[in-house]
Amino acid sequence: MSKMIIPEVEIEIGDNLYIQIKDVSFIPFKAGYISGRPEDCYPEEPAECDWKNENAKLVIKKQILTGWETENDISVRKAITRTDEKEFDVDDSFVYEYYNQIISQVEEDLQSDR
């Protein structure tokens, strides 16, 4: 399989704290071949990903209560919320600390799309 661009990857690193990366270049894992003649064999190649530094953000998400909704004129109330997000630029070296989790998230998202 060849390189693909993933529009957005988001991983949670704490309560309401996320790393969000847009336009991630991803090359999937390639299994090795160890049977047959030695000249036909090759080692496995791990998955790889890369992105532009300006595409990585640290995001704080907070749920804000905006009101209540009553269903069928009974005392069952449903909260109406919206998500407030604050984005912060982050250095690439910080994001690369989560490199393995980013690859895992991309692979999980690709599996769920199938």
Question: pLDDT digit string (tens) for 35-47?
Answer: 888 888 889 899 9
Q: Of how many residues is the chain composed?
A: 114
> pTM higher than 0.75 for the full model?
no
For 48-63, the pLDDT digits (tens) are 999 999 999 999 998 8
Distance between CA 92 and CA 96 in Å, rounded?
6
With contact defined as beta carbons under 8 Å apart, do 27 and 3 qualify?
yes
C-alpha span between 109 and 22 (Å, rounded):
14
Q: Residue 90: which region, alpha, beta or left (left: phi > 0; alpha: psi -120 to 50)? A: beta
- Would you call 16 helix, strand, or coil by DSSP? coil
